[in-house]
Structure 1
Amino acid sequence: MAGVSRRVVIWLHGLGDSGPANEGLASFFKGPSFAAFKWIFPSAPEQRVTCNYGALMPSWFDLKEIPVTAESPKMELGVINAVESIHKMIDEEVAAGVSADHIFLCGFSQGGALTLASAMLYPKRLAGAAVFSGWVPLDGAGFVSKITPEAKKTPVLWLHGLNDQVVDFSAGQAAPPLLARANVECDFKAFPGVGHTITPEELSTLEQWMKSKMQ
Structure 2
Amino acid sequence: MTAELLPYVEVNTGENPQACVIWLHGLGDSGNGFAPIVPELHLPESMAVRFLFPHAPERAVTINNGMVMRAWYDIKSFDLDNRADLTGVLESMEQVNALVEAQHEAGFAYDKIVLAGFSQGGVIALHLGSRIKHKIAGIMALSTYMCKPELLAEEAAQENKVTPVMMAHGVQDPVVPVALGKMAFDALEQNGFSATWQTYTMQHSVCLQEVEDISTWLQKVLA
Q: Same fold (TM over 0.5)?
A: yes
Asked if residue 126 in structure 1 is aligned to residue 125 in structure 2, the reply is no
Change in 2 beyond 3 A, CA 1:197/1:140? same
Structure 1: distance between partners of 2:80 and 2:135: 27
Residue 196 of structure 1 corresponds to 204
Structure 2: distance between partners of 1:34 and 1:178: 36
Change in 2 beyond 3 A, CA 1:43/1:34? farther
2:216 to 208, 211, 215: 208
Residue 5 of structure 2 corresponds to none
Indicate conservation of the 8 Å contact 1:33/1:211, yes or no: no
Structure with the larger helix share: 1
| Percent identity between the two aligned chains | 29
Structure 2: distance between partners of 1:34 and 1:157: 23
1:52 to 60, 64, 87: 64
Matches within 5 A, 1:80-159: 80-137=90-147, 139-159=148-168
Indicate conservation of the 8 Å contact 2:122/2:141, yes or no: yes
Gaps of 5+ in 1: none
Indicate conservation of the 8 Å contact 2:61/2:69, yes or no: yes
Structure 2: distance between partners of 1:47 and 1:161: 27
Instruction: Quote how far apart the aligned CAs of 1:65 are.
Output: 2.9
Indicate conservation of the 8 Å contact 2:152/2:191, yes or no: no
Deviations 1:10-59 (A, max 9, x none): 11000000102321011112243664100101100100001101000000
Asked if residue 25 in structure 1 is aligned to residue 37 in structure 2, the reply is yes
Q: Secondary structure at the match of 1:174?
A: helix
Instruction: Quote how far apart the aligned CAs of 1:147 are.
Output: 1.1
Change in 2 beyond 3 A, CA 1:74/1:32? closer
Residue 20 of structure 2 corresponds to 8
Which one-letter code corresponds to 1:29 in the other structure? L
Indicate conservation of the 8 Å contact 2:25/2:119, yes or no: yes
Q: Secondary structure at the match of 2:114?
A: strand
CA RMSD in angstroms, aligned pairs only: 1.8
State the aligned residue count.
Answer: 209
TM-score by length of 1: 0.91
Gaps of 5+ in 2: 1-14
Instruction: Quote how far apart the aligned CAs of 1:71 are.
Output: 4.5
